[in-house]
Copies of this chain bind each other. A is one copy, B any other.
Amino acid sequence: MAAIRVGIIGLGNVGGGALRILADNLGLISRKLGAEMRVTMVCSRSVEDDPPEILELFPEAVRTTEWHDVAASPDVDIVAELVGGTSVARKIIDTAIAHGKSVVTANKELMASQGAEIWATAREAGVRLAMEASVAGGIPIHSVLREGIAGDRIESLLGILNGTCNFILTEMERRGDSLETVLSEAQELGYAEADPTADVDGFDARSKLALLAALAFGVHIEPGKIPTEGIRRIRDVDFLYAARLGHTVRLLAAAEQAEDGLYLSVRPALLPKDAILANVHGSYNAIWVRGAHGEDTFYYGRGAGATPTGVAVVSDLINIARELLMGGSERVSPFAHVELEQGEPADIGKQLRPYYLRFRVRDRPGIIAELAAILASAGISVDAVLQEPSDAKDDLPFVITVEPAPRRSVEEAVAKMRDLDFLVDAPLVLALEKGLEN
C-alpha cells in the first residue's frame, strides 16, 4: 500500500481541527508511519460555507456534500465520521464498514449506546474502529486503557469529564458567584450551550463514563442505567462549607469495582483540596485511575476544543494506518477486551461513603435535634455540624456531615425530612471522595 487515504466527513469544530493538524503534521506523520497519509475526500453540509482555508490546505481532495460518496469511495481507506448525533452518523459508519473501510469517530453518544453493536459489525467485516476523541478530547485515555496499562486490573476510576461543568464550578469557587451568573456568562462566551442540559445535568459525562467503563472493565452498560445527577443544585455557599472541611466540589464520573458489582455514578461530590484531581481548573478534563497493581495513575488535558480533539482523531488515523500497513487481522478491540459483557451497574444504594448534607432552613430552636433524630433512626452517625454566621434567618444554610453510610440509608433519611416545615428546600446530598492524596 503506497499511501493511506483518508476521507473526512464533517467539517465543524473537530473536523476543521483535524484537517489543520493533518496539514501541519503530514511530514511528521510519514516519519511515524513509514508511508504517506493523504486526505483524498472531504464532505461538509455546504461546500460554499466551508472556511476557505480548508480548501487551501488540501487542494487535491475531492469535496462533496454527499457523505455517501465518501463512505463508499474506492479512494478512501479510513473514514473519519465527525458529524455528531446518532442517526446520520450511524448510517455513515455502517456504510463505510459495508464498503470495507476502517472508521474513526469522535461520537461519544453513538458509541456509548450502540458501540458494541457497531464494533461487532466492524469485526465481522475485518475493518478497524477507533474512538479516542469520544472521551476527554486531548487526553489519550482510550490508548491508556487499551494498551498503556492493559496489564493491570482496574479497581476504580474517577473522572472530571465535562469541561463546561468544571468551568462553572471552578469559577463559582474562585469568584464566589452563583451558578446562574457563571452559567449565563459561560453561555455568552460560548463555553456553554444555549440549552445547557446535556452538560449541567450530567448526561454528557454519563455517556463518557459508559465508554470508560467498557474500556476499563469490559462491560457494556446502557448510559441510561447510570445514576446521574447534575450540578444545578450547587450553591456558592457549598464551596464555603466544603472549604471549611478542606474540600472542594466537582462533578465526578465514577466507576468502582466492588464485591457486589460495578458501581457507576455521575454526581457532584466533595474532593479533598490537596488531591491532584481537585486542582483541575476551568474547562480541563482529568481521569484518576486506580489499578490493583499499578496503583494510582492520573491523566489530564483539554477535554474539548477543535485541535485537542483533532489530535485524538489524527492519532486514531495514524494507529489504524499502522495496522493497515502491517496487514493481518484486528489487533486490539476498540473496547480493550475481545468481548464486551452486557452488564448492569451494581445497586448504588449500597455504596458506602461519608456524606455532606446541606440544609436551608427557616431558623428556630430544635432543628438540629430533629434532623439528628431522623439520621439516628436510619442508623447514620453524625460526624460534624457546621454553621457559618449568617443573618438570613429565613433562609439559613448549614451543613451536617455523616460517617460512611450506604447511599440508600442517606436518601431514605433525607426523604423523611421533606415534610419538615422549617426546610426551605430539599437537602443537598454530596458524597465525600477519599483516598486521593498524592
One digit per residue, 1 when the CB lies within 8 angstroms of any chain B CB and 0 when it does not, for chain A 328-348 equals 111111001111000000000
A54 vs B316: C-alpha distance in the bound complex, in angstroms? 39
A24 vs B153: C-alpha distance in the bound complex, in angstroms? 9
List of B residues within 8 angstroms of A326 by Cβ: 323, 326, 328-331
**Would you call A308 and B284 a contact (CB within 8 A)?**
no
**Most central of A150, A307, A316 by chain B CB within 10 Å:** A150
Q: Report the copy number of this chain in the oligomer.
A: 2
Choose from B149, B279, B294, B299 the contact partner of A279 (Cβ within 8 Å). Answer: B279
Q: A175 within 8 Å of B by Cβ?
A: no
**Most central of A29, A149, A325, A339 by chain B CB within 10 Å:** A149
A302 vs B314: C-alpha distance in the bound complex, in angstroms? 29
Q: Which of A143-189 contact B (CB under 8 A)?
A: 143-144, 147-153
Q: A292 within 8 Å of B by Cβ?
A: yes
**Would you call A338 and B218 a contact (CB within 8 A)?**
no
A297 vs B339: C-alpha distance in the bound complex, in angstroms? 30
**Would you call B301 and A295 a contact (CB within 8 A)?**
yes
Q: A31 within 8 Å of B by Cβ?
A: yes
* Stretch binding the partner chain, chosen from A59-67, A132-140, A238-246, A401-409: A132-140
- How far is the CB of A5 from the nearest CB of chain B, in Å? 17
The dominant DSSP class at the A interface is mixed
Q: Which of A27-46 contact B (CB under 8 A)?
A: 28-29, 31-34
Q: A110 within 8 Å of B by Cβ?
A: no
Q: Which of A295-326 contact B (CB under 8 A)?
A: 295-302, 305, 307-308, 310-319, 322-323, 325-326
**Would you call A311 and B152 a contact (CB within 8 A)?**
yes
List of B residues within 8 angstroms of A331 by Cβ: 322-323, 325-326, 331
Q: A327 within 8 Å of B by Cβ?
A: yes
**Would you call A151 and B298 a contact (CB within 8 A)?**
no
Q: A281 within 8 Å of B by Cβ?
A: yes
- How far is the CB of A42 from the nearest CB of chain B, in Å? 17
Size class of the contact patch on chain A:
35 or more
Query: With A300-B298, A326-B330, A438-B281 given, is the CB distance from A293 to B20 under 8 Å?
Result: yes
List of B residues within 8 angstroms of A140 by Cβ: 144, 147-149, 297
Q: Which of A178-224 contact B (CB under 8 A)?
A: 218
**Would you call B319 and A150 a contact (CB within 8 A)?**
yes
A166 vs B336: C-alpha distance in the bound complex, in angstroms? 33
Choose from B29, B139, B151, B330 the contact partner of A25 (Cβ within 8 Å). Answer: B151
**Would you call A279 and B438 a contact (CB within 8 A)?**
yes
- How far is the CB of A304 from the nearest CB of chain B, in Å? 11
List of B residues within 8 angstroms of A316 by Cβ: 151
List of B residues within 8 angstroms of A323 by Cβ: 326, 331
**Would you call B151 and A314 a contact (CB within 8 A)?**
yes
One digit per residue, 1 when the CB lies within 8 angstroms of any chain B CB and 0 when it does not, for chain A 236-269 equals 0000000000000000000000000000000000
Q: A276 within 8 Å of B by Cβ?
A: yes
**Would you call B34 and A338 a contact (CB within 8 A)?**
yes
Choose from B21, B34, B293, B333 the contact partner of A311 (Cβ within 8 Å). Answer: B293
**Most central of A24, A142, A298, A313 by chain B CB within 10 Å:** A298
Residues on A close to B: CB < 8 A?
17, 20-21, 24-25, 28-29, 31-34, 132, 138-140, 142-144, 147-153, 218, 274, 276, 279-282, 284, 291-302, 305, 307-308, 310-319, 322-323, 325-333, 336-339, 438
A-B residue pairs, 10 tightest by C-beta:
A140-B148, A151-B314, A328-B328, A143-B148, A297-B301, A294-B311, A151-B315, A34-B338, A327-B328, A298-B300
Q: List 28 interface pairs A-B (beta carbons < 8 Å), by A numbering.
A: A17-B293, A25-B153, A31-B339, A143-B147, A144-B144, A144-B148, A147-B315, A147-B318, A148-B315, A150-B319, A151-B311, A151-B313, A151-B315, A151-B317, A276-B276, A293-B310, A294-B302, A295-B308, A296-B301, A296-B302, A300-B300, A300-B438, A319-B332, A325-B331, A326-B326, A326-B328, A326-B330, A331-B331
- Other contacts beyond A138-B294, A151-B312, A327-B329: 5, CB < 8 A: A144-B144, A149-B315, A151-B317, A294-B308, A298-B301
